[in-house]
Structure 1
Amino acid sequence: MRRLISALLMPLALIAAPAIALDHHQTAPAGPQPNVTAADLVDDITIPFEEFTLDNGLRVIVHEDRKAPVVAVSIWYHVGSRNEPVGQTGFAHLFEHLMFNGSENAPGDFFEPLREIGATDYNGTTWFDRTNYFQTVPVQGLELALYLESDRMGHLLGAVTQEKLDNQRGVVQNEKRQGDNQPYGLVDYVQMDALFPEGHPYRHSTIGSMADLDAASLEDVQAWFRRHYGPNNAVLVLAGDIDAATARPLVERYFGDIPRGPETEQVDPGVPTLAERQDILMHDAVATTRLTRTWVVPGLNDPVTADLDVAASVFGGLASSRLDNILVRGEQTAVSVSASVQQFEYMSLFEIQVNVAPTADADAVSARLDELIADYITTGPTADEVNRVAMSEVSGRIAGLEQVGGFGGKATVLATGALYSNDPAFYRTQLERIGAATPESAVAAMQRWLTRPVLAMRIEPGERGAYEESSSVSAGERTGTRRHPAYYLQPGEEAAVSAASGDDLGTRSVPRPPVGTIDDLDFPEVERATLSNGVTIRFVRRSAVPTILTMLSFDAGNSADRADRLGTQTLMLGLMDEGTTSLNSTEIAEAEERLGAALGSGASVDRTTFSIFALAPNYGPSLDLLADVVRNPAFAPDEIERLRASRLAAIAAERTSPPGLASLNLWPRLFGEAHPYGRPTSGLGTPDTVTAITRDDLVDFHRRWIRPEKLSIMVVGDSTLDEVVAMLEPRFGDWTGEGEPGAKSLDVAIPEVEPRIILVNRPDSPQSVIYAGQVLDIDGTDELLPLLTVNEALGGSFLSRINMELREVRGWSYGVRGSLNRFRGPVSYTIYAPVQADRTGDSIVALREQIEAFLTTDGIRPEEVTRAVTGSIRSLPGRFETSGGVAGGLANNELYDRPDDYYDGIAQMYRALDANQLDAAARSAIDPDAFIWVIVGDAELVRPQLDALGLDVETVEAQ
């Protein structure tokens, strides 16, 4: 489900009453049953806070959470793209970039001091209603974080230069190109144009139009800042190892002298209604026809939004949703579906989406979708469905309580309530409304808002047509006339930040604070036990929230696939929760929702994992569900064919995506097709291999690889080792494998290096994706800490040489990364760089120059050593704040044959590193002349640029 809120508190009766009143004739549900319901758990869920307001209007909210020595610092400005006037679209987002570019007393990239103090979850984002900046820092770094945030609030404009504006304008335009270049990347433009009338503040793009970004002057952006970024238009939240008594003097010290700014007017623009149904047909470089139905509905403060949210979840949000059961599992005319309410301050978008199965008639599916919507609006959800939504919400909000910062932690919950609703505890109101929802209230809400004219869009495979380019790019016929770009923000995206230069202007009387001594990480104690069949359990107790995360890790992964049956593991994983010998797919999904549990599965190159997030009181029945799914998959023939069709559609989609095409063409070239690693990391396989997979293949793969001899179990949560063993023993301790286990060889010969360029032709691409790589003469089980650390300076961080060169110096990319792909066997090094199409060749030249210099004459610099070593040590507490982080650490220790106390000694390992050792690690591993370069872009534009580089160029068609 898609949610804006991260914690829950609602009256007990509001959750429990609907089912009692309305489900008298319901048959007993199948599958494991919960020991507790949502109503039983409510008292455990709260975010206590204190607040105060400075004389200049800055509102400050403090939440105390002592579980880890970190504090989330989150500042939200009540200004977003809806505040932008005609001709200045994209200004809020552009200023988000500029505010990371250094301030008058903190010149240089803000990432540099944040990295040095060990910040985690640091980012900045812009959306329709707000701009925010956030970071989670060690307690000893809190004052410096407050100094930095206050300096860019009160002392910014002296550091904003024309050079910085020009650079960040280019970065933002490449961010736009990167989003536009994806399949369905142009859809939102048309959608927003159709839904909102001219002049409506939600109609235009958060990222802005190319023309408006081109036209932005230094005077314009400075005036924008003066109007909107005063303390009286902001909310500051501190959450973590802090209390209000400690926080107040610190906030007064750093923010108190900043004068009030103008009041940013908040005007409700109203909820528009279409005059009549609109049907729009688009063509795009996509593999699957997509159908959407969208209505503009009230904003998040309107009580009706909760009823619409529940209705959407039942229809297309739950794993057991109506659309999943009818169109995907039943009629099999869709490969995926969704329904959600995307909530904003003054309006929301109720959207239903169906990706049509390639074998289905899109006209028939469209008519069927309209029929299902009409019926659902009339009949509505059942009480059991409404209650499953409530339980899913409770479980999700409990999980959210574990994190203080980031995109969805407690600081975000309190800030959004204060900013949008003038109530930090508004999450209580929102979820009380969800708890109070009934089938009748959901029907009433839908009949009020979804009987209005709908926007019906259909996106079919085909040519896109002209693209709106920047006037700074000479692209000839590539320039189009489209005026309203889409909105952009994807959770988890790298922060939109930038480097700066300049002198300290010394405009503050408050000095820059030092960072206190930060204690080394004390990794939680790892306890071990062994089940009767020899399966090892690693357990860490974490009692901050009443949840338990259990991960089953099998020595399998994509590398376990037979060469002639690539995709077997991925198809098997998809089938595991689609039916066991006792439960069908719908019954599994419904049981999961009633338990408040979250089943998960996934695969890396080396491991196949199954996990379950469980509420502690429901741990036993949740493990029953996990054990049934893992040990007793049905592999029903009809489900196999349905999932096969879905996987074939996913393969086709992979071949329309620039990153997918890059992966398809690089990995076989690096390792050779015969090597288990010479496969795209998606693990999807090819159309031929997936078509050839039989039920016997799936059963055989499960028998050979998903078995106790290959299993390790990691458990993190609110329990004890004895209790966990007592729960796991009857469910997994009696498990025995049959026949011979699977075996894989990582010793297959890797082809000799043939440096060259493979150009994958994808016409009309506004960006080129550069994906380069080489295989290193090291294994993942070797100690790679020196190489990982030195790579932070070369390619592994925002401040790395190659990212700063292409993004901050040249302005040709939104982000570049060099990565060590740490498999258990041979390790590879790859470079990923989406760049504007007309600079593809120049970007490769710049990358090669940076890499060559780093590995020869200009190795790691003293400040880079300090930043990498000190920042890595200080960031460790934030990395392991959550159960998921701890479980990931346990899994890595198991995969790379490391001891359980590995992280307890890692700080000393970092301190032992010096520049000579780091340079030696990089220079002995990476060969600047051994890269294979894959380029995905428009061959007509890109090929002439590549021919001048002195490497053989091979052009292949995207397929």
Structure 2
Amino acid sequence: MKSKFFLASLLLAFGLTATQAKDYKYITVKGDPMQTRIYTLDNGLKVYLSVNKEKPRVQTYIAVRTGSRNDPAETTGLAHYLEHLMFKGTRRFGTSDYQAEQPYLNDIEQRYEVYRKLTDPQARKQAYHEIDSVSGLAARYNIPNEYDKLMSGIGSEGTNAYTSNDVTCYVENIPANEVDNWAKVQADRFQNMVIRGFHTELEAVYEEYNIGLAQDSRKMYQALLAKLFPTHPYGTQSTIGLGDHLKNPSITNIKNYFRRYYVPNNVAICMAGDLNPDEVIATIDRYFGSWKKSETLSRPEYAPLAPITAPQDTSVVGQEAESVYMAWRFPAGRELTSDTLDIIGSLLNNDRAGLMDLDLSQKMKVQGAFAWAEEMCDYSIFLVGGMPKQGQTLEEVRTLLLDEIGKLKRGEFSDELLPSVVNNYKRDFYKGLDSNQKRARQFVNAFINGEDWEQHTGKLDRISRMTKAEIMAFANKYLNDNFVCVYKRQGNDTTLKKVEKPAITPIPTNNDKHSAFLQEVLGSKPAPIQPQFLDFSKDLTKGTTKRGLPVVYKQNTTDDLFTLQFRYPLGTETNPLVGYAASYLEYLGTDRFSNEQIKQKFYRLACDYSFNQYADQFIVSLSGLNENLPEALRLLEHLMQEAKADGQAYAQYVDLVLKGRADNKANQRSNFLALMDYGLDGAYNATRNIPSGQKLREGSPEELTALMKNLRNHSQTVLYYGPSTLKDLSALITKEHPTPKTLLKADVGTRPYVVQPTPRNEVWIAPYDAKNIYMVQLHNENQEYTPERRAIIDLFNEYFGGGMNAIVFQELREARGLAYSASARYSRPGRKQDKEFFYTNIITQNDKMMDCVKEFNKLLNNTPEREAGFNLAKQGLLKNLASARTTKFDILNAYMNARRLGIDYDPYKKEFERLPSLTLKDLMDFARQNIQGKTYKYLILGDEKNLDMKALEKIGPVRRLTTEEIFGY
């Protein structure tokens, strides 16, 4: 028998550890295209691993099987708030001295237990003042955002988390060589979470709550769930929680919740990407294996819901456009009924040839219609909805939607539709395997819903065997009058409450401090990933068709999918009518085929087409199964060349366009984007450069069809990624897409959008009645851009205004709780002729506006100089660039983007080479030259009566814009 010493020596000789020698058992499923390995550690921790070596990065999700479903009824929103607090650190990081900090944190916890039970306003104010004071003492030891420094330092991207009814999930996308560091940080985080920075983060959560108040779709969805689940938490409490509960939190309840649900036998680690499963599972076991499982794991259970036997209606009101939802309740998402619901959703609405697509959307009977299934752990729902066109009632939309359900039940749809749905489902599934994110999300959903992986991987086979008769029988059995209905009507929501801002003393950001743990992680030296940048002379092929059309080509050697594009320099700056012509074409047929037949043919071919107009280009795209490319291209060309103008369809189309414009004016986000365009480019901008309603009314449908027909006469570039050879592709293009010998110069007469200079401070306000404002500070002095400036610009953005570790986020959200969303960006142009500009962006409560202005201006005029933050920003950028890979069709996009900048090389290569030599002095010089002491145009979307106008008038002249001005209609 060999000694333990001999065994250890042998392991070391082969570069192994004793942990790696452990025999890890795993489950696989035959026929799984992701070749998933599912491990279960001794403590019950599930680990899902899938290998995809296309890029040296790994998508990670850590999923906890708990969400708002398990919130205590007296502290709703708890799961979501805990998600936020998980970013605050542990005993090892996020603090400079946990032993000194801990008594203050305990004191704060006890004070909140008293505070939440007080009702007298003056007593609450005094108690909060005391909490704020003790929080200031605790904050001396707090190192805000050290978690984000750790993730930035290892080159992680997409640091985030989300909470819903059944899940709280933590997201990172890491370089493939940083799995060890990632696991080390996450294991500490999930075992040793410490609640700190509580009151400022609470304000950030409340700001998130305020943002939701202006989103009527959230109100609709919650009202829908309340009707579907009247005695279950899905319907009795929302994920964001009640406002009163958010203002009266319990740290004790949060800790108890954490201890109950954040245990290894209630968690799954889901990873997909460039990984070695044997090494990764050993690493996870090394760091997570000591995590103690819960022997008493449980969750609240609820009595079965009473059946819904008759339609149940309710209404919500708000400023946004009217719409209607209807939904049916079904068993848990892991049940096989979910297969059928997914297919029924596509039979009704697949954006091409579904019953609702053909009968309602294509025939313009409604403004829009949709259907989908949503799987949850305890139940599932099937939802249909629609938006009324001008003059149509919500009740009429409801009737039309139910009529389509009736057709489904009676089998009044083409026999080709079901097999087409199945084929498109398969195509989308296999295309989705390119995405590590989509792979890992499948693991999360299966784990949270308790779905067996063999059942999950068998779904494609099961749906392939479905018959029309089975679909009809299912619909007749389940989709009857057992639904709930929510009407969203326009009006003033009087239930929204105005909340005064609390008196928060800013906490220090302590940027001069760091934990030993941070130093340990950042000081590690994993084997570096060697960067790979594009060489346009090798990574793609440039050619021409027989008729001289330029072709940018890349062969797909991995599957039978293709993407083909025709790009024309016909953007909205040249002729915005082209985009309207493309939209109108969606409703037309030809002499040979009706519109319905065309949609059905494309769907049967498992091919999609789309038209997109941007400022400087118009793009026709076709994608799908390459074996069907010739037929699909022939059909697309036939539609564009032979579409029959229809006066009645045109009149209906114009009605939809104008109704859509009216709906935009009721939407907060749309108003902000319109204001931003107006503030950037002035009155001539992308939002306003549109044909007027009168011009559309008086316009000729034949003019629009002619625009689409004549596209092939304009200069253009062909882009292709797919299995066909360049020779075969060129022959196909020449045959199916004939062009004249001399092409029109499509950019003649173009008037570019131009960012306007900001020579003085001024304030522009556009109205929108909400509990929060959107605000931007914009500066532009027409600074010329050269590609050499890319490195310093990206480094400045990373350091100053980008992610959660950046200065703006730290100072406005972490230190002061002034906003949920706070950022700043120095914008580099995407075209050679455009200029650089800088802007800040914040969404905040109305009465916090001037606090935000004050703090932003401090940062702008006295940019903090922080060596540690600079080094982290540079290290993170370098690691991201080294592990980035541009592949497939994106290679062609990268080439075209480089051309737009007037260069013939991959700009990331020069950025990577330039970054190491940049210093903090370079960055501070950049700030002094470009943002400090500058004049700004303040763009504010909000209700003037709720704003401090006297303070705004001190900034500069105030210009009041109307909604009609910013939209141009």
- TM-score, normalised with respect to structure 2: 0.83
**Aligned mates of 1:559, 1:769 — CA distance in 2:** 27
Q: Of 421, 428, 450, which aligns to 1:421?
A: 450
1:783-816 CA distance string (max 9 Å, x none): 5413233223232334333233322222222212
Q: Which amino acid counterpart does residue 556 of structure 1 have in structure 2?
A: L
- Name the residue aligned to 1:847: 856
- Name the residue aligned to 2:86: 99
**Aligned mates of 1:302, 1:340 — CA distance in 2:** 16
Residues 1:145 and 2:182 are matched in the alignment: yes
**Aligned mates of 2:682, 2:264 — CA distance in 1:** 58
1:191-229 CA distance string (max 9 Å, x none): 222222134445321121112222222222111111111
- Name the residue aligned to 2:813: 807
Q: Which amino acid counterpart does residue 540 of structure 1 have in structure 2?
A: K
- Name the residue aligned to 2:657: 647
- Name the residue aligned to 2:463: 434
- Name the residue aligned to 2:630: 620
Deviation at 1:63, TM superposition (A): 1.6
Residues 1:673 and 2:680 are matched in the alignment: no
1:741-781 CA distance string (max 9 Å, x none): 34214497957645321222222x01111133243414567
1:603-622 CA distance string (max 9 Å, x none): 33222222233233333334
The within-5 A match list for 1:377-392 is 377-379=409-411, 381-392=413-424
Count of residues in correspondence between the two structures:
871
- Name the residue aligned to 2:9: none
Q: Which amino acid counterpart does residue 903 of structure 2 have in structure 1?
A: R
Deviation at 1:311, TM superposition (A): 1.9
Deviation at 1:78, TM superposition (A): 1.0
- Name the residue aligned to 1:659: 669
3-state SS of 1:516 partner: coil
**Aligned mates of 1:80, 1:177 — CA distance in 2:** 21
- Name the residue aligned to 1:227: 260
Q: Which amino acid counterpart does residue 652 of structure 1 have in structure 2?
A: A
- Name the residue aligned to 2:612: 602
3-state SS of 2:92 partner: coil
**Aligned mates of 2:441, 2:355 — CA distance in 1:** 31
**Aligned mates of 1:214, 1:761 — CA distance in 2:** 28
- Name the residue aligned to 1:788: 794
Q: Measured at CA, do residues 192 and 570 of structure 1 come closer, stay the same or move farther in structure 2, by a change above 3 Å?
A: same
Residues 1:72 and 2:59 are matched in the alignment: yes
3-state SS of 1:839 partner: helix
- The question of whether the paired residues in 2 share the 8 Å contact of 1:193 and 1:203 is answered with yes
Q: Of 833, 836, 843, which aligns to 2:842?
A: 833
- Name the residue aligned to 2:358: 325
Q: Of 350, 371, 377, which aligns to 1:339?
A: 371
Q: Measured at CA, do residues 457 and 501 of structure 1 come closer, stay the same or move farther in structure 2, by a change above 3 Å?
A: farther
Residues 1:88 and 2:88 are matched in the alignment: no
Q: Which amino acid counterpart does residue 191 of structure 1 have in structure 2?
A: L
Q: Of 572, 584, 600, which aligns to 1:558?
A: 572
**Aligned mates of 1:202, 1:155 — CA distance in 2:** 32
- Name the residue aligned to 1:300: 333
1:100-134 CA distance string (max 9 Å, x none): 22233343343323233332344211111111122
Q: Measured at CA, do residues 716 and 903 of structure 1 come closer, stay the same or move farther in structure 2, by a change above 3 Å?
A: farther
Deviation at 1:239, TM superposition (A): 1.9
**Aligned mates of 1:781, 1:707 — CA distance in 2:** 34
1:12-59 CA distance string (max 9 Å, x none): xxxxxxxxxxxxxxxxxxxxxxxxxxxxxx999711022322221112
- The question of whether the paired residues in 2 share the 8 Å contact of 1:317 and 1:340 is answered with no
Residues 1:523 and 2:556 are matched in the alignment: no
- Name the residue aligned to 1:279: 313
3-state SS of 1:169 partner: helix
- TM-score, normalised with respect to structure 1: 0.83
**Aligned mates of 1:412, 1:347 — CA distance in 2:** 19
The within-5 A match list for 1:901-912 is 901-912=906-917
**Aligned mates of 1:367, 1:355 — CA distance in 2:** 12
**Aligned mates of 1:636, 1:513 — CA distance in 2:** 68
The within-5 A match list for 1:11-50 is 46-50=33-37
* Worse-matched range after superposition: 244-253 or 538-547: 538-547
Q: Measured at CA, do residues 761 and 750 of structure 1 come closer, stay the same or move farther in structure 2, by a change above 3 Å?
A: closer
Residues 1:769 and 2:777 are matched in the alignment: no
Q: Measured at CA, do residues 517 and 364 of structure 1 come closer, stay the same or move farther in structure 2, by a change above 3 Å?
A: closer
Deviation at 1:353, TM superposition (A): 0.9
Deviation at 1:470, TM superposition (A): 5.2
* Worse-matched range after superposition: 298-307 or 622-631: 622-631
* Worse-matched range after superposition: 138-147 or 359-368: 359-368
Q: Which amino acid counterpart does residue 156 of structure 2 have in structure 1?
A: A
- The question of whether the paired residues in 1 share the 8 Å contact of 2:317 and 2:493 is answered with yes
Residues 1:590 and 2:623 are matched in the alignment: no
- Name the residue aligned to 1:461: 490
**Aligned mates of 1:298, 1:613 — CA distance in 2:** 36
**Aligned mates of 2:651, 2:624 — CA distance in 1:** 31
- Name the residue aligned to 1:348: 380
Q: Measured at CA, do residues 656 and 620 of structure 1 come closer, stay the same or move farther in structure 2, by a change above 3 Å?
A: same
Q: Which amino acid counterpart does residue 704 of structure 2 have in structure 1?
A: L
- Name the residue aligned to 1:396: 428
3-state SS of 2:687 partner: coil
Unaligned regions of 5+ residues in structure 2, if any? 1-28, 95-144, 504-508, 965-969
* Worse-matched range after superposition: 336-345 or 513-522: 513-522
- Name the residue aligned to 1:23: none
- Name the residue aligned to 2:18: none
- Name the residue aligned to 1:488: none
Q: Measured at CA, do residues 100 and 838 of structure 1 come closer, stay the same or move farther in structure 2, by a change above 3 Å?
A: same
- The question of whether the paired residues in 1 share the 8 Å contact of 2:564 and 2:623 is answered with yes
**Aligned mates of 2:612, 2:451 — CA distance in 1:** 41
**Aligned mates of 1:214, 1:535 — CA distance in 2:** 63
* Worse-matched range after superposition: 270-279 or 733-742: 733-742
Deviation at 1:839, TM superposition (A): 0.9
Q: Measured at CA, do residues 877 and 580 of structure 1 come closer, stay the same or move farther in structure 2, by a change above 3 Å?
A: farther
Q: Which amino acid counterpart does residue 807 of structure 1 have in structure 2?
A: R
Deviation at 1:402, TM superposition (A): 0.4
**Aligned mates of 2:511, 2:310 — CA distance in 1:** 51
Deviation at 1:394, TM superposition (A): 0.8
Q: Which amino acid counterpart does residue 829 of structure 2 have in structure 1?
A: R
Cα-Cα RMSD:
3.4
Q: Larger C-alpha radius of gyration, 1 or 2?
A: 2
Deviation at 1:902, TM superposition (A): 4.0
- Name the residue aligned to 2:131: none
- Name the residue aligned to 1:538: 552
Q: Which amino acid counterpart does residue 650 of structure 2 have in structure 1?
A: I
* Worse-matched range after superposition: 264-273 or 118-127: 264-273
**Aligned mates of 1:892, 1:501 — CA distance in 2:** 40
Deviation at 1:546, TM superposition (A): 3.5
Q: Of 154, 157, 161, which aligns to 1:117?
A: 154
**Aligned mates of 2:498, 2:455 — CA distance in 1:** 42
**Aligned mates of 2:900, 2:360 — CA distance in 1:** 40
- The question of whether the paired residues in 1 share the 8 Å contact of 2:830 and 2:897 is answered with no
**Aligned mates of 1:686, 1:172 — CA distance in 2:** 41
- The question of whether the paired residues in 2 share the 8 Å contact of 1:776 and 1:829 is answered with no
Deviation at 1:316, TM superposition (A): 2.8
**Aligned mates of 1:613, 1:266 — CA distance in 2:** 47
**Aligned mates of 1:500, 1:914 — CA distance in 2:** 18
Q: Percent identity?
A: 18
Q: Which amino acid counterpart does residue 835 of structure 1 have in structure 2?
A: T
Q: Measured at CA, do residues 719 and 740 of structure 1 come closer, stay the same or move farther in structure 2, by a change above 3 Å?
A: closer
- Name the residue aligned to 1:21: none
**Aligned mates of 1:747, 1:55 — CA distance in 2:** 61
Residues 1:575 and 2:584 are matched in the alignment: yes
Residues 1:360 and 2:370 are matched in the alignment: no
**Aligned mates of 2:305, 2:884 — CA distance in 1:** 42
